[in-house]
Amino acid sequence: MFNRKNRTEIQHFVVTAKQMQAIETRLFDAGMPVAALMEKVAGRITQRILSKIESIPVTSIGVIVGPGHNGGDALVVARELHFLGYSLVVYCPFSKQKELTQSHLKYITSLGILINLNIESLQNCDVIIDGMFGFGLERPITDELAEAVNQINAWKKRVLSIDLPSGIHTDTGEVLGTAINATDTFCLGLWKLAFLQDSALDYLGNVELIDFDIPLADIQAILGKNPEFRRITKENAIADLPLPRPLTSHKYKNGNLLIVAGSHRYTGAAILAGLGARASGVGMLSIAVPKSIKPLLSSQLPEALIVGCPETEDGAILDFPSHFSLDQFDAIACGPGLTQSASTIVQMILDGNQPLILDADGLNILAQLDPISTLSQRQAATVITPHPGEFKRLFPDLVEELKNRILVTQKAAQQSQSIVLLKGARVCIGTENTVWMNPESTPALARGGSGDVLTGLLGGLLAAVVLNQTPIDAIVKTAVWWHAQAGIKAAKDKTELGVDAFTLTQYLNLLQLGLNSNNHN
């Protein structure tokens, strides 16, 4: 068991509805009274709500009460807010409730708070607390309830949802008929999968976890010591960075990376990948490009060894120079800006034995080569970084399951025996046994070139850790977190309308200074 000082570990866990139910059952079987837990949770929710509304004028607070314990939580919150002097309007459209929820409803009534059956009763409230449905909802919201939810959304008021916005599926994040569009969501106990699914993001608003002190032993009893789903945090993201370095270090001890990228048409992709690798701190960087664009790369990356390659008629890499060996490199990053004319070189790299990052046109070429068989037969580790469109071409049999990005990423990793980094607003990293999910990013990264930067950063980190045998998935999560945090900081300093990829590389370098400082303290 761990105390309040090290409860940060709770942020790493992510659960399904079934797992959360099993954990709560353990608590109740051990003797924790359901009523006592509800009081504790609702007390903490109340404190968070007060912190959200203390700076805004609030005359009346509306409370939506569901039939289950989520509704019970909302009623306890309503009771506490009433005692603090707030005017409450309670809307409960359900004729039956769980026993404990019914008791709280009875007590609320005894305080003189009316229970309303009409959604219009909430129209004049300044803030609405959504306690209709929590985790575990499976059926769509329909009929009068759907009309009520849509009416609340149309009012565009501040809505604070308890555990999940009502109508959101706990695991997939999909909308079940319709869903509350929350301003803030208080996730209870442990993070649910929905908070890491792109499909739920427009409904969650600002999110935070309300920890109610679930013992670690109870969590591990259900999830195991190596949970299937894990959330990336700063602590686990930087834990495997190859820093600090020993005094006797030299460039070849810090990784030797080859980037294969670029074409006459897409010169910038190779430059951006190189700048991403530069930020990683990789010891030695080589970049293979068509011979005609070699001078442009040399001017932007003077420390890199630029390898000019024979090229096709349309300016793509045709082959490597004679006497050039892939065996000298610790890792290869391949794909940005290649065009599909570079199929011969991609096949050659896939046939090699170096740890490999495959992106962009590297993936488009792979899609034509029986991807699952090709990846499964590789002897070295492979990381593929598709966006959803590329994913569909690589794994056509999984297209129908893409609504659950987390599960489908894991399935793709298991089928291909590779690490699958599925891009999106919430990046998922799938391995055979674990899915890592990045909870923070910014729409400012939705600009051309940011993926090329990530490929370079990832390649540099991979080359640097191959020598010390750090688990490769650990470095993939590091790169994803680092890339996202640089984008977030750049967006704050610049604008969320977009952070150009070159600026992003500069922020990777700025963030690197802080990472060095953290590791040395």
Binding site membership for K(+): which residues?
70, 130, 166
> How far is 210 from 208, CA to CA, in rounded Å?
7
Binding site members for AMP: 451
As given in the structure block, the two tokens for residue 405 are 């990005």
Strand partners, 88: 61
Rounded to whole angstroms, the Cα distance separating 78 from 64 reads: 10
Backbone region of residue 31 per phi and psi (left: phi > 0; alpha: psi in -120 to 50; beta: other values) = left
The token pair at 472 is: 């490769």
Query: Annotated binding site, which residues?
Result: 69-73, 130, 134-140, 163, 166, 269, 337, 387, 451-452
Instruction: Specify the residue for token string 């068991």.
Output: 1
Strand, coil or helix: 516: helix
Q: Taking a C-beta distance cutoff of 8 angstroms, is the pair 24, 52 a contact?
A: no
In the chain, % helix, strand, coil (3-state, to 5) comes to 50, 15, 35
- Give the separation between CA 93 and CA 73, rounded to whole angstroms: 16
Asked if 249 and 259 count as a contact pair (C-beta separation under 8 A), the reply is no
Are the CB atoms for 195 and 428 separated by under 8 Å?
no
Using DSSP's 3-state secondary structure scheme, residue 26 falls into helix
CA distances in angstroms from 219 to 20, 259, 271, 354, 474, listed in the order given? 9, 42, 46, 38, 22
